[in-house]
Amino acid sequence: MKIGHFITFEGGEGVGKSTQARLLADRLKVAGHVVVVTREPGGTPLAEKIRDLILQQRPKSPEAEFLMFAAARAEHLSAVIRPALEAGQTVICDRFIDSTRVYQGDVFGVERALILAVEQLVVAPTIPDLTIVLDLDPTVGLKRAAERGTLSRYDKARIEIHDDLRQGFLTIAQSEPDRCVIIDAARSVDVIAADVWTAVAARLVPACG
Ligand code: TMP
């Protein structure tokens, strides 16, 4: 049974997800929430090992890669996310199901039916209450990622792929407006954080506004 709030941040590379996750956590803590900030792939020692494996050496098969993400997610859900939610804590996760739908599904060609079946098996019913999609022109995001020295193998892909990623996140957000909010990430960190707070306060914690 899920009791606490589950919030995810999604978007392409260099959009500022981890910065915004941290700022939101700080603000929620001030408002009296117990907050767990975590990320995918990763979030547990085993899932972090799977992350290292995936990021260091891309599997040849997109399905193999997809199943590695799914294994990391299953571990993360049972060891961290579900126990925290059941204890009434707020969980903020940097990437979750939408990254899989967009990267593995839209871009790397894993069948949508397989993605949804595994999502049903591994994730349901722990669907985020709120997903914040940070939207940014990929040329700006990639420049930011390059400046901070965190270019992954995905970052180095052709710019068209990053345009597809951006469009993939926007399409999901538009088709699930009850769960998702799109926020323009081309502005200053503080302005974006204010919009994130407005979305969270309006949907999840009106008493804390
Ligand atoms: P990060 O750069 O946000 O830490 O994420 C690592 C990479 O993993 C990023 O390029 C996106 C990718 N990824 C997927 O392809 N599928 C997924 O399900 C997740 C969670 C991440």
pLDDT digit string, tens, across residues 129-167: 999 999 999 999 988 888 887 777 666 667 779 999 999
Q: How far is CA 78 from CA 4, 24, 52, 64, 103, in A?
A: 15, 24, 20, 21, 23
Distance CA 137, CA 163 (A): 8
**Ligand 1 center–CA 99 separation, angstroms:** 6
Q: What's residue 208's pLDDT?
A: 47
Mean pLDDT (the chain) is 93
Instruction: Mean pLDDT check: name the lowest of 7-16, 85-94, 141-150.
Output: 141-150
**Ligand 1 center–CA 51 separation, angstroms:** 9
Q: What's residue 207's pLDDT?
A: 47
Q: What's residue 155's pLDDT?
A: 65
Q: What's residue 57's pLDDT?
A: 85
Ligand 1: residue whose CA is nearest its atom 15: 103
Q: What's residue 209's pLDDT?
A: 44
Calculate mean pLDDT across residues 59-64.
Answer: 94
Check pocket membership of 95 for ligand 1, CB cut-off 6 A. yes
Work out which ligand 1 atom sits closest to the CA atom of 39.
4
**Ligand 1 center–CA 208 separation, angstroms:** 31
pLDDT digit string, tens, across residues 98-134: 999 999 999 999 999 999 999 999 999 999 999 999 9
Domains of the chain plus CATH, in order, are 5-204 (3.40.50.300)
**Ligand 1 center–CA 149 separation, angstroms:** 16
φ/ψ of 80, rounded to 5, equals -125, -55
Calculate mean pLDDT across residues 181-188.
Answer: 98
Check pocket membership of 78 for ligand 1, CB cut-off 6 A. no
Calculate mean pLDDT across residues 35-53.
Answer: 97
Calculate mean pLDDT across residues 164-187.
Answer: 97
Work out which ligand 1 atom sits closest to the CA atom of 42.
20
Calculate mean pLDDT across residues 173-183.
Answer: 98
Q: How far is CA 124 from CA 82, 88, 118, 133, in A?
A: 11, 18, 9, 20
Instruction: Judge whether residue 71 has pLDDT over 90.
Output: yes
User: The whole model's pTM is what?
Assistant: 0.95
Q: What's residue 108's pLDDT?
A: 94
